[in-house]
């Protein structure tokens, strides 16, 4: 007997094997493309959109989830002639990873400092 719904996953149809792909017909020139990210949602989509918009070479960046029951996110990027959509995507991912690293370091520094209310309670209630 199983308490999980995980077995259900096996019945799902694999839409795409790759985790990142370019939606066919959206890359008319290298400066624009719609990328399809498999198994990603608002968690990454929204933060990535923000990171992309921070790049001054990016003219347009947005994300959408075409259907709530399909685990994929589309990210549209249009850039200036100085770069390409793929390079902008790569930079966006890179910048966001750097930012995460920054948050981790900030957290660890704060934990090391220990300047907060601390309680190691044995019996909470």
Partner 1 sequence: MDIYNSGGPEVSIRSLKKDSMKFVLTNTDLSVANALRRVMIAEVPTMAIDMVEIETNSTVLTDEFIAHRLGMIPLTSFDVDRIQYTRDCTCTLYCPNCSVELTLHVKVNVDYDDMNDPTIDKTRQVTALDLISSDESVKPVSDDKAHPILIVKMRPGQELKLKCIAKKGVAKEHAKWSPVYGISFEYDPYNRLRHSHYWIEEDEKLEWGVSANAAEETPVDPNEPFDYNAKPDKYYIEVETSGCMKPEEVALRAMTIMQDKLGGLQIKLDDEFKEDTQRWGY
Looking at the Cβ atoms of 55 and 79, the one nearer to partner 1 is 55
Looking at the Cβ atoms of 66 and 97, the one nearer to partner 1 is 97
**Alpha-helical regions (H) of 22-84:** 42-53
Shortest distance, position 7 Cβ to partner 1, whole Å: 10
> Exposed, middle or buried, 49 (CB in 10 Å: 0-12/13-18/19+)?
buried
Residue with tokens 């209310």: 117
Phi, psi for residue 60 in degrees, rounded to 5: -150, 135
Shortest distance, position 72 Cβ to partner 1, whole Å: 13
* Residue 116 engages partner 1 in binding (rule: CB under 8 A): yes
- Which of 23, 26, 32, 54 forms a contact with partner 1 (CB under 8 A)? 54
- Which of 15, 42, 60, 80 forms a contact with partner 1 (CB under 8 A)? 42
x/- mask, partner 1, residues 75-104, rule CB under 8 A, reads ---------x-x--xx--xxxxxxxxxxxx
> Exposed, middle or buried, 95 (CB in 10 Å: 0-12/13-18/19+)?
middle
């Amino acid at each position: 007997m199983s308490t999980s719904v995980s077995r259900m996953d096996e019945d799902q149809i694999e839409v795409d094997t790759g985790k990142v792909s370019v939606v066919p017909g959206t890359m008319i020139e290298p400066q624009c493309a719609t990328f399809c990210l498999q198994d990603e949602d608002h968690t990454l989509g929204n933060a990535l959109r923000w990171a992309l918009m921070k790049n001054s070479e990016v003219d347009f960046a947005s994300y959408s989830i075409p259907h709530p029951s399909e685990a994929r996110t589309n990210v549209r990027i249009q850039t200036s002639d100085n770069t390409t959509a793929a390079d902008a995507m790569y930079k966006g991912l890179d910048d966001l990873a750097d930012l995460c690293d920054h948050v981790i370091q900030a957290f660890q520094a704060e934990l090391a400092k220990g300047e907060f209310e601390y309680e190691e309670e044995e019996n909470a209630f």
